[in-house]
Amino acid sequence: MRILLSLIIAIFCCGLSFGQSAQKDSCANLLIIFPDQMRGSAMGFRGEEPVQTPNLDQLAKDGIVLTNAVSNFPICSPARASLMSGKYPQSHGLIQNCNSYSGKLGYEFSVEEECWSDVLNKAGYELGYIGKWHLDNPHEPYLDFYNNKGFKKWNEWTPPEKRHGFNYWYAYGTYDKHLNPVYWSTDAKRDEYNFVDQWGPEHEADKAIAYIKNRKSERDPNKPFVLMVAMNPPHGDYSQVPDKYKQIYEDVSIEELTKRPNIPSKGTKFGDYYRKHIKDYYAQISGVDEQVGRILHALEEAGENENTIVLFISDHGDCLGIHDVSSKDYHYEESMVIPFIIKWPGKLKSRYDDILLSMPDIHPTLLGLMGFEKNIGKDVEGKNYANYLLTGKGKKPTSQLYLYTYYGEPDMGRRGIRTDRYTLMISKRHSEPDIFELFDNKNDPFQLMNIYDRNPILTATLTAQLKNLLMETNDPWIKHLN
């Protein structure tokens, strides 16, 4: 059976031998559209939230939708580093967001880390990156941006040696003024950034379309390409969205948008926070959706649709006040579960699938799909599910890891496990009492009832599974379970 599945991969994919270079006619392109902070339930076709996403709805009809894909450490830098490296945070080194304080603590994403993009670059692919990167710590002298003024500095230029194989570059570190974003181009020096008077996702879609159509010789047309479009919205500042997208929800009552039973009541701190931002959050998602449609249309016009793997994902979700927390970082479904739609015409049969895919699995799975299974590094911790996506058959994971680490306290913070039914979370911090939570996500999908104290046998079973995951990822937090 394993030989048969390998033959299937070889027939569909590039399957290069040592020393060969990728050729346009025999190797698939890869397009990744990667908005930030978009929860997995916030797409119209899911039927869970009243958000309008017609282009994603169509993409879902044409591809595979993974309904249980998660971000294991649901904040930007750790999740992005796991996506790129195929490793969990304790291994790739980013156990908090990249900023100047993280740099002082030694949290770095190494230039030596072999990302899937490095593998494809060595194989002869053309690679383009557009948008938010957020994998580098700012350093002195700090650049003059609004978000480099406080205790933590955030935005930074990425030098060519840190771009992990992307030879076309139009990106920035992290910057949340979406209506006036800033970018560095491929050859720009650190002080040669450019502000743009256009909504970030729209501008990035313009650049992506130009890259796909190769309007200004952005790439070698004789080579297959990879393009990653990393949009910042629907990340805050939520109000930074063009009026035309706000108008979509202008006449929708706030009651219609707040029916989920885990949204706090009106008049509470986080209930009012949700009501203040939800229309803009949905407006940003609808705006991102329109850009997805534009990019996919350009792929069709360029004649590249049939030979391109399209992946739509996010780095994490957003509670937006749900469960009385303002944003991400948490073990709740709104924070952990991410969009995951993958399309490859003629190769991947459209379906919904509940496989428990984790962020580090994306690296080896993409390489497996593209014919580079032999190039997956031995230190990659994620699993290659390419055969499973192609056939719908094979062994599936039984659980997913959740973690959150505080700055300067790598052996503290929260750890948990998510299965196809349950979420267990344990929180440890010197200055706070321990917290234990267990949710039955089947009978209680909005995670309203903590059943930890009622199920000692189940708790013990899940804790044992969590311990195994922590051992596999060399997590010092495991001392709390010994």
Domain boundary among 353, 370, 391: 391
pLDDT at 315: 98
pLDDT at 278: 98
Are residues 228 and 140 part of one domain? yes
> Quick one: tokens of 135?
């994998």
3-state secondary structure of 76: helix
Quote the distance between the C-alpha of residue 381 and its chain's center: 17
pLDDT at 482: 82
pLDDT at 244: 98
Q: Identify the H or E element spanning 4.
A: helix 2-12
pLDDT at 32: 98
Q: How many CA atoms lie within 13 A of 426 on its CB side?
A: 21
d(CA 288, CA 265): 29
Task: Read off the pLDDT of residues 329-374 as tens digits, 9 standing for 90 and up.
Answer: 999 999 999 999 999 999 999 999 999 999 999 999 999 999 999 9
Are residues 406 and 377 part of one domain? no
Are residues 358 and 465 part of one domain? no
Domain boundary among 351, 368, 391: 391
Number of H helices, E strands in the chain: 13, 14
Are residues 241 and 329 part of one domain? yes
Are residues 272 and 375 part of one domain? yes
- Count of structural domains, the chain: 2
Q: CB burial class (10 A; 0-12, 13-18, 19+) of residue 55?
A: buried
Are residues 369 and 413 part of one domain? no
Q: The domain containing residue 476 runs over which residues?
A: 400-481
CATH of the domain at 229: 3.40.720.10
Domain boundary among 332, 365, 391: 391
Are residues 421 and 364 part of one domain? no
> Quick one: tokens of 454?
């009622």
Are residues 362 and 225 part of one domain? yes
Are residues 327 and 418 part of one domain? no
Are residues 371 and 454 part of one domain? no
Are residues 273 and 159 part of one domain? yes
Cis status, amide bond into 181, omega within 30 of 0: no
Are residues 173 and 57 part of one domain? yes
d(CA 280, CA 298): 27
Task: Read off the pLDDT of residues 212-245 as tens digits, 9 standing for 90 and up.
Answer: 999 999 999 999 999 999 999 999 999 999 999 9
CATH of the domain at 433: 3.30.1120.10
| Residue stretches of the chain with pLDDT short of 50 | 1-11, 17-19
What spatial distance separates the first Cα and last Cα of the chain, rounded to whole Å? 40
